[in-house]
């Protein structure tokens, strides 16, 4: 069984993903975690900001695992990117467009109002870019081409999440995925 702290972090991640940071209250979190209210401050004496930072960093690193799950085992780079975007579309449809990326959801809210959380989101995005660069290089791309493609994939995915949720359609993910595939094919053809 998960510890109280783990339940609080899991509930927070889900609520942040669905409602955003400012749209999630502490009472919602402890209720969803089935935890006593005082336990939140026991584990996170810095309150919601400390909890938010830890959730962002932990969730963000967990998302790197999706790269290993979907792209790393792919027979080629293009198939891996296609699988990545298809899985994102499936998740949105399965959750009625409620579950997108918790990092981007919070980053959009706090980038100019909360330096601690802005830095946490920046650190997560940096880790994603580094992991993607390393992973795409394994498919034969040079470091700069792999980095450029990673940034294109992350920005395409995150932007498509925003549009898809607003439009309640996976069309933006399909278009962004096709653009990422085209960029991968071009980089591979150039032999970068």
Alpha carbons within 13 A on the beta-carbon side of 139: 25
pLDDT band, very low/low/confident/very high, at 192 (cuts 50, 70, 90): low
DSSP secondary structure string for all residues of 95-113? TTT----HHHHHHHHHTTT
Q: What is the tally of structural domains in the chain?
A: 1
CB 185 within 8 A of CB 77: no
Q: What would the pLDDT profile of 125-135 be if each residue is shown by its tens digit?
A: 999 999 999 99
Higher confidence at residue 38 or residue 101? 38
Indicate if the pLDDT at residue 8 is higher than 80: yes
Q: What is the dihedral of CA 164, 81, 73, 10, to 10 degrees?
A: -30
| pLDDT value for 1 | 73
> CA-to-CA distance for 169 and 180, rounded, in angstroms?
19
> CA-to-CA distance for 113 and 109, rounded, in angstroms?
8
| pLDDT value for 71 | 85
Question: Which residues constitute the domain of residue 17?
Answer: 4-190
Q: Which has the minimum average pLDDT: 52-56, 80-84, 108-112? A: 108-112
With 0.85 as the threshold, say if the pTM is over it: yes
Work out the widest C-alpha separation in the chain, in whole angstroms: 58
Q: What is the number of H-type helices and E-type strands within the chain?
A: 9, 0
Query: What CATH number does the domain containing 110 carry?
Result: 1.10.357.10
Q: State the CB neighbour count (10 A cutoff) for residue 67.
A: 19
């Amino acid at each position: 069984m998960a510890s109280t702290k783990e339940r609080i972090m899991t509930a927070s991640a889900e609520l942040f993903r669905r409602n955003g940071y400012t749209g999630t209250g502490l009472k919602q979190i402890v209720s969803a975690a089935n935890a006593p209210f005082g336990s939140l401050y026991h584990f996170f004496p810095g309150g919601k900001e400390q909890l938010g930072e830890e959730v962002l960093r932990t969730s963000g690193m967990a998302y790197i695992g999706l790269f290993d799950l979907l792209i790393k085992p792919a027979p080629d780079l293009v198939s891996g990117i296609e699988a990545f975007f298809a899985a994102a579309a499936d998740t949105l449809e399965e959750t009625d467009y409620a579950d997108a990326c918790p990092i981007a959801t919070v980053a959009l809210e706090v980038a100019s109002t909360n330096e601690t959380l802005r830095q946490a989101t920046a650190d997560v995005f940096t880790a994603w870019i580094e992991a993607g660069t390393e992973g795409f290089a394994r498919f034969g791309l040079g470091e700069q081409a792999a980095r450029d493609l990673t940034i294109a994939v992350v920005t395409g995915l995150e932007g498509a999440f925003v549009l898809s949720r607003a439009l309640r359609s996976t069309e933006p993910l399909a278009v962004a995925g096709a653009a990422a595939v085209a960029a991968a094919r071009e980089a591979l053809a150039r032999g970068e």
